[in-house]
Amino acid sequence: MNENLSFYSLYSKYKNLDFSTYFKKVNDDEIINSFNKRSLNPDNLLALLSVKAENYIETMAQKAKDLSLQHFGRAILLYTPLYLSNYCINECLYCGFNSKVKFKRKKLSLEEVEKEATFIAKTGLQHILILTGESEQITPLSYIKECIQLLKKYFTSISIEIFPLKTNEYKELVALGVDGLTIYQEVYDEKIYSQVHLKGPKKDYAHRLDTAQRAGDAKMRTINIGALLGLGDWRKEAFFMLLHAKYLQDLYPEIEISVSLPRLRPQVKNFKAISKVSDKNIVQIITAARIFLPRLGITLSTRENSSLRDNLLPLGITKISAGSTTAVGGHINSKEKDVQFEIADQRDVATIRRMLLAKGYQPVLKDWVGV
């Protein structure tokens, strides 16, 4: 990676900005001007994320819908997560896999991976996202590679959401057939980041921040970033996440960049969201994202309930998960209770497909061919 080039320098430019004072100054003209422009700058994005912009939420939604139709049409890609292991050496206060949480840890054997894969493949899904906690000892890269080799028999597209790797390791995975990386910064606010990540390699803010770029240098085909909404002030977090997305789009025009907007779900007792994020807030983030970056992918997971997910679809969602579980081995054994977080939309793939068609969207199960 080019050491001189990092999103951190752009983050630093804005990190001391007094967001609440800035937002108070935003006036109606600036908001209207922002959603009418063809090419938006960071100030325009701030205007769209301001408190006052909530008065324009319907106009923003209409604009976002038009832009989404224009750029993505009426097709939505489906995928499902496959958890390989929940062993983790990190202590992240908000996560069910926190190393301090006592429960019987599990790692899938290759036979078990194959069973899960067979089950998922039967639903027709061709895109899969594999996940692990961070434990180089128990789930080393060699184990993940074995799983990938096996999963290639069942799926067209394999994305990973695992611990951050080095550029050459990403290159190895790309060569093996991995085409997507999901990596959430979780929280862009550095102070909060250090407060919620107590121990483990994940504590290194800058290393995590540059992960997307290391994968980009390794020529990963798609990169999905995200902020765990609720950990910090969501307006600020959404701003940095979208600025990060733009930074990556500009740096790697050949890579498809997308974002996720996960809201904190109950998974750990005694951990409460620092900031509340309402449904209206989610709508504002999605519409601002679409208007700011018209070709950005937006992924919506089953953390959100079915009725909200259905309503958010036309605003700019390009990819949704279906038939999800956040438990290791959870596709085969749906009673598995040791989950990373609780999911709110329990619908299976067939139900999601029917819902999409009824709403005028084509469920896309395959949108890649390994070359």
360 sits near other proteins (criterion: CB under 8 A): yes
171 sits near other proteins (criterion: CB under 8 A): no
Stretch binding other proteins (CB under 8 A), from 28-36, 63-71, 133-141, 283-291: 63-71
Stretch binding other proteins (CB under 8 A), from 96-104, 181-189, 327-335, 353-361: 353-361
CB atoms under 10 Å from CB of 194, counted, come to: 12
Cβ(78)–Cβ(364) under 8 Å? yes
Cβ(83)–Cβ(330) under 8 Å? yes
Find how far residue 179's CA is from the centre of its chain.
15
361 sits near other proteins (criterion: CB under 8 A): yes
249 sits near other proteins (criterion: CB under 8 A): yes
Long-range contacts of 71-76 (CB under 8 A, 24+ apart): 71/294, 71/295, 72/318, 74/360, 74/361, 74/362, 75/361, 75/362, 75/364, 76/313, 76/317, 76/318, 76/319, 76/320, 76/356, 76/361, 76/362, 76/363, 76/364
17 sits near other proteins (criterion: CB under 8 A): no
Stretch binding other proteins (CB under 8 A), from 229-237, 253-261, 310-318, 340-348: 253-261
Count of residues that interact with other proteins, criterion CB under 8 A: 30
369 sits near other proteins (criterion: CB under 8 A): yes
Stretch binding other proteins (CB under 8 A), from 65-73, 81-89, 164-172, 339-347: 65-73
Least separation in angstroms between residue 124's CB and other proteins is 6
341 sits near other proteins (criterion: CB under 8 A): no
C-alpha to C-alpha distance for 330 and 276, rounded to whole angstroms: 29
140 sits near other proteins (criterion: CB under 8 A): no
74 sits near other proteins (criterion: CB under 8 A): yes
Among 141, 174, 251, 365, binds other proteins (CB under 8 A): 365
253 sits near other proteins (criterion: CB under 8 A): yes
| DSSP notation for 301-366 | -TTS-HHHHHHHGGGT--EEE-S---BTTTTT-TT---BSS--S----HHHHHHHHHHTT-EEES-
Least separation in angstroms between residue 69's CB and other proteins is 4
89 sits near other proteins (criterion: CB under 8 A): no
Residues with Cβ within 8 Å of residue 78, at least 6 apart in sequence: 125, 127, 319, 320, 321, 322, 349, 352, 353, 363, 364, 365
177 sits near other proteins (criterion: CB under 8 A): no
Among 69, 110, 175, 206, binds other proteins (CB under 8 A): 69
Q: Could you give the C-alpha distances from 236 to 43, 232, 307, 336, in angstroms and in order?
A: 13, 8, 27, 36
Least separation in angstroms between residue 173's CB and other proteins is 18
Stretch binding other proteins (CB under 8 A), from 27-35, 91-99, 161-169, 245-253: 245-253
User: 157-161 and 256-260: which strand pairing?
Assistant: unpaired
Question: Among residues 221 and 290, whose Cβ is nearest to other proteins?
Answer: 221
Sequence letter at residue 331: H
Q: What stretch of H or E contains 223?
A: strand 222-227
Among 14, 105, 119, 124, binds other proteins (CB under 8 A): 124
**Residue window 192-221: x/- pattern of binding to other proteins, with contact defined by CB under 8 A:** -----------------------------x
Residues of this chain that bind other proteins (CB under 8 A): 69-75, 124, 126, 156, 221, 249-250, 253-257, 295, 357, 360-362, 364-369, 371
